Amino acid sequence: MDSLSSQFFIYLVNLLTVLCYPKFMTEYGNQFAQAIAEELRAQKARTGKTNEDIAEEIGVSAVTVLRYLRGQRQIPIDVFGDLCQALGVNAADITAIAFTKAQKRSESINPLTLTEEEKKQFVLNQLKNGDTTLAANYDPNKEAERDYYPDAGA
């Protein structure tokens, strides 16, 4: 490979890294939300409260509480405060613990340092958790195609 081709290749790799890396950076937000949910679940277990008890205290359904605590639904900040109060825990403490967990998890997910097997596992975990932010797995037209071709099994 000549010098110009080498420089272009390096430029292309750097450009792709810059363009692709933000997709991995959004992973931190997901990790933080999951860590918040984990900590709230742990506090729920310590208090012995049921989802129904918590739901009644904060004015949402038990199913909504379940989704919040599983990390399946984003927790609005006002509801987060209510959840913390219902569970008898300081919101700042939950946030600090979640922040530390998310930091540790995000440090381990640098796409430039992952092996091919780690990359595969990362993508599989993303899909398992319902994260469709990876460009190759997200097709905004898929629903329209399913509606238009219901028997295609897309």
28-112 topology per CATH: 434 Repressor (Amino-terminal Domain) (1.10.260)
Mean pLDDT of the region 122-143: 60
**Which residue, chain included where needed, has tokens 């009644």?**
56
Structure confidence at residue 111 as a pLDDT band (50, 70, 90): low
pLDDT at position 59:
96
- Rounded to an integer, what distance in angstroms lies between the CA atom of residue 107 and that of residue 112? 12
> What integer is the mean pLDDT of 138-152?
57
Tens-digit pLDDT profile for residues 38-62: 999 999 999 999 999 999 999 999 9
pTM (predicted TM-score) = 0.55
Per-residue pLDDT, 143: 57
Residue boundaries of the structural domains of the chain: 28-112, 114-154
Q: In this predicted structure, what is the pLDDT of residue 42?
A: 92
pLDDT in tens, 76-96: 999 999 999 999 999 999 998
Mean pLDDT for the chain overall: 75
Q: Place 137 in a pLDDT band, splitting at 50, 70 and 90.
A: very low
How many Å apart are CA 39 and CA 95, to the nearest integer?
9
Helix, coil or strand: residue 119: helix
Q: Which helix (H) or strand (E) holds 24?
A: helix 3-47
Structure-model confidence comparison of residues 132 and 124, the more confident one: 124
The tokens for 82 are: 């209510």
Residue with tokens 């692709």: 20
CB-based contact 73:34 (threshold 8 Å)? no
Q: State how far the Cα of 45 lies from the Cα of 95, in Å rounded to an integer.
A: 18
Q: What is the pLDDT of residues 8-30, one digit of tens each?
A: 656 555 554 444 444 444 567 78
Task: Show Cβ contacts of residue 133 under 8 Å, excluding neighbours closer than 6 positions.
Answer: 23, 26, 126
Per-residue pLDDT, averaged over 113-117, amounts to: 73
Contacts of the segment 91-95: beta carbons below 8 A, 24+ positions apart: 94/36, 94/39, 94/40, 94/43, 95/36
Task: Identify whether the C-beta of residue 98 lies closer than 8 Å to the C-beta of residue 80.
Answer: no
